[in-house]
Amino acid sequence: MINILKEIFSSEDLRKRFFYTLFMFAVYRFGSHVPIPGIDTTALEEFFKSFQTTIFYLYDIFSGGNLSRMTLFALGVMPYISASIMMQLLTVAIPELQRLAKEEGDYGRYKINQYTRYLTLFVALVQSTGIAIWLQNQTSPKGTPIVVEKGLLFTFTTVIALTASTMFLVWVGDRITHRGLGNGMSLLIFAGIVAGFPNASIRVYSMLTSGELSPFAVVGAVIFVIAIIFAIVYLQEAERRIPVQYPRRQVGRQEIVGGSTYLPFKINPAGVIPIIFAQSLLLIPSTIIGFIKHPIAQAIHEAFNPTSPLYNVLYVMLIVFFTYFYTAVLINPMDVADNLKKAGAFIPGVRPGKDTQAFLEGVINRLAFIGALFLSVVATVPLFISIWLKVPFYFGGTTALIVVGVALDTINRIEAQLLQKKYTMGAIRRRR
């Protein structure tokens, strides 16, 4: 890591990209401290303390705590993430979008990106309208209204502010992707989550000094965090490499020499998406039911508490389902087999066509099983460790996967740029 930083500062282009990324982070953090007009922040803080087992808490983590403070960036880039996932699913379901993605090249990617922006705007409008109307009907546990002056003006102001801020963050993410280091949207989520680490550390330290936590519990938590980071790094970087052989062939008068390469498949192709889907599907009904003041509704709400056995059994089942589902969306064995056949390539010992497709399906299903098992462990074990050690565990499975995954992706992108720079400099020297 130190060597990478040295190489970044030794390269003028990478140095500019690094400082540009930091500048955009500063803009993001500045907006994270500008509250929406008309909100009683004290009442809002008291109100959100009772929502730690709901979908709002999950959304608040991804927005960097902006939702619980109701700042300009309360929605964060989550509308864009939701729109991107929806577009991926629609691309599989709608033939026209499939054609754009596969056959139209740069123009197709541009159009799909444009449709994603429109969908992001729509999602942001719906979510901001829902938040504006919902907040006006809420009070703190002491009975203090969260919205000081209710009415159409507050709704209009909040919807415009939240939607415009979300689209601004989408632009910031694009600027980081093109002029900074790494994927802009992922880095903004990363920055929001990491921004909560200092407060979490201070909270643990204060509990340790006051005697609420034992040194054993803190040491155990630190060891567990290191272990989970190691496991995530190992499995996120691991690949199943399938050998591919290209035959020698004649194209006109030119003879193309064959060779061997491989098809790389990630051990966990679906990434963190199955966990987000599973949590959302469980927490959204539980959150809605929690607002119903009825004994049966409250009993159902308690049954879906993240510490209950029922919640965790359903959680694991949904993670397994969404891992297989999202892996099938990302990787199509039929397309891979057809592309290999068109290129004249083959997997040694496997016939081209349907046999190759069947072989790839078997490999992908086994990888999806390993990925589902890995995600289930990462998603559930931190919760039980925090209960056992009685530690307020901010570094849970979802946040750990996002933080470590984004960090690895950014490092890989920087290394690729450094390698490209070395090849370019070498080519210039050879020409001289």
pLDDT score for 252:
54
Task: Please give the Cα distance from 179 to 16 (Å, whole number).
Answer: 8
Could you give the 3-state DSSP secondary structure of residue 351? coil
Q: For the beta carbon of residue 357, count every other beta carbon within 10 angstroms.
A: 20
- Tell me, yes or no, if the two domains 18-195 and 210-432 fold the same way: yes
Q: Which fold has domain 18-195?
A: Preprotein translocase SecY subunit (1.10.3370)
The alpha carbon dihedral of 326, 329, 334, 337 has a sign of: negative
- Burial-class residue 123 by CB neighbours within 10 Å (0-12, 13-18, 19+): buried
pLDDT score for 163:
93
pLDDT score for 397:
67
Q: Any idea where the domains of the chain sit in the sequence?
A: 18-195, 210-432
Q: Which amino acid is at 239?
A: E
pLDDT score for 379:
81
Q: Which residues contact 63 (CB under 8 A, 6 or more apart)?
A: 73, 74, 75, 76, 78, 192
Q: Which fold has domain 210-432?
A: Preprotein translocase SecY subunit (1.10.3370)
pLDDT score for 167:
93
Largest CA distance in the chain: 85
Task: Please give the Cα distance from 206 to 355 (Å, whole number).
Answer: 61
pLDDT score for 233:
85
Pull the structure tokens for residue 176.
Answer: 């980081």
Q: How far apart are the first and last CA of the chain?
A: 33
Q: Which residues of the chain have pLDDT under 50?
A: none
